[in-house]
Amino acid sequence: MMTKDRDYEDILRRALAAAAESIEPTGDGLQRIRHRLDSRRSAQSLLSRCAEWLELHGTRLLVRFEPAIEWGRAGLRRVLPVLASFLAGLFSPRGRPGGHRGSGTPSPPGRLGPAGSWLKPVFAVAAAVAIVVAGVVVLNHETQTVINPLNSSSPSGSGTSVGSGGKTANSKRWKLPLGVVLPTQQAGGQAPNPKMKAALPAVACTPTPTPAPSSTATTPAGSATGTPTPTASGSATSTPATPQPTDTVPTTPTPTVSAATGGTTTATAAALVIPDDAGAPDGAGAPAVVECGATPKTSYIP
């Protein structure tokens, strides 16, 4: 019996080995594994980039949308008691004329009738969903009302690439910042926000196909006049061969307006500080520093 078992084991071993010989994997297994690993890595790096972005801009967004958040909070404070009383009314036990539960007297159906036992939770869930939807809609509306004045500009159908709401030839991120008015707009075009136009000086902002030297300064030094003034942070030369970008620009606490150039432009980076009384839509009580060539930012200047 044992020898017979051994025979069968040997037969099985040989048969499996022979069958395995006929199975030949394709040669690109390692490439496919690496490809999968790379795609996983890229997904991970995307996630980490998102986390970094949130970490970097989260506070800024919170500050920018503080009025909307406050408005939402106030609205919730007003709505919550009403909702609570409504829910309490839905779930509160009604007075039963028959006395205690189990006394043999069937309790009369509630205001909702016999289907009340399952209608109440449905109503509660529906009310909660409606509140969430209303909150989202209101927040969206508030966000747009805050963002629209920032990004509104001349009609984009004109075909001009300069400051037409981000529709430029060289960069998708190029947007006309708050308060920056093009000379053409000044001449005949309609201003995005007449109040802003009246309150803020005009700065010419002309992007070029050549990449501007990167400057990380949020408050470059300069004078407080409306005219952009070239400073040490950027040269106003028109020769593209000799741009003088500086990566480390000392920040100054004074409200300034400056311009830095790179390439053949006259001004590729400008910052404006909007005073409190200019009616800044961020409403944070702090002047908003916006750069030409970057999305408008808000920062506190002590």
Both tokens of 270, joined, read 């400008």
Residue with smaller CB distance to other proteins, 4 or 101: 4
Q: Which of residues 84-103 bind other proteins (CB under 8 A)?
A: none
Does the protein bind other proteins through residue 51 (CB under 8 A)?
no
Specify whether the backbone of 285 is left (phi greater than 0), alpha (psi in -120 to 50) or beta. left
d(C-alpha 203, C-alpha 267), whole Å? 9
By beta-carbon proximity to other proteins, the closer residue of 5 and 247 is 5
Beta bridge partners of 271: 258, 291
Does 46 contact other proteins by CB under 8 A? Answer: no
Q: How far apart are CA 29 and CA 20, in angstroms?
A: 18
Residue range at the interface with other proteins (CB under 8 A); choices 9-17, 134-142, 166-174, 263-271: 9-17
Tell me if 120 sits within 8 A of 93, measured CB to CB: no
Q: Please answer whether residues 260 and 232 qualify as being in contact, where contact means their C-beta atoms are separated by less than 8 angstroms.
A: no
d(CA 15, CA 195): 88
Count CB atoms within 10 A of the CB of residue 246. Answer: 17
Binding other proteins by CB under 8 A: which of 8, 53, 91, 300? 8
Burial of 214 (0-12, 13-18, 19+ CB in 10 A): exposed
Are the beta carbons of 223 and 188 closer than 8 angstroms? Answer: no
- 2, 3, 26, 101: residue in contact with other proteins (rule CB under 8 A): 26
Element (H, E) at 269: strand 269-273
Q: Provide, rounded to whole angstroms, the least separation between the CB of residue 3 and other proteins.
A: 13
> Should residue 239 be labelled a site residue for other proteins when binding is judged by CB under 8 A?
no
Which residue, 15 or 128, has its beta carbon nearer to other proteins? 15
Q: Which of 2, 3, 25, 248 binds other proteins (CB under 8 A)?
A: 25
Instruction: Report how many residues bind other proteins under the rule CB under 8 A.
Output: 25
Which range binds other proteins by CB under 8 A, 10-18, 72-80, 117-125, 271-279? Answer: 10-18
Nearer to other proteins by Cβ, of 22 and 242: the residue is 22
What radius of gyration do the chain's Cα atoms show?
Answer: 33
Stretch that binds other proteins, among 8-16, 111-119, 206-214, 244-252 (CB under 8 A): 8-16
19 counts as binding other proteins under rule CB under 8 A: yes
Q: Token digits for 266?
A: 């006259």
74 binds other proteins (CB under 8 A): no
Q: Which three-class secondary structure state does DSSP give residue 235?
A: strand
Task: Measure the CA–CA gap between 163 and 291, rounded to whole angstroms.
Answer: 13
Contact between 23 and other proteins by CB under 8 A: the answer reads yes
Q: How far is the CB of 58 from other proteins (least distance, A)?
A: 24
Q: Show contacts of 111-119: CB within 8 Å, 24+ apart.
A: none
Cβ proximity to other proteins, 24 vs 247, nearer residue: 24
Q: Which one of the spans 3-11, 105-113, 133-141, 234-242 is the region binding other proteins (CB under 8 A)? A: 3-11
**Is 1 a binder of other proteins (CB under 8 A)?**
no
**Which range in 2-10, 118-126, 163-171, 219-227 contacts other proteins by CB under 8 A?**
2-10
Instruction: Please give the helix or strand (H or E) that residue 49 lies within, else none.
Output: helix 29-64
Interface residues with other proteins (CB under 8 A) are 4-5, 8-9, 11-13, 15-20, 22-26, 29-30, 32-33, 36-37, 40
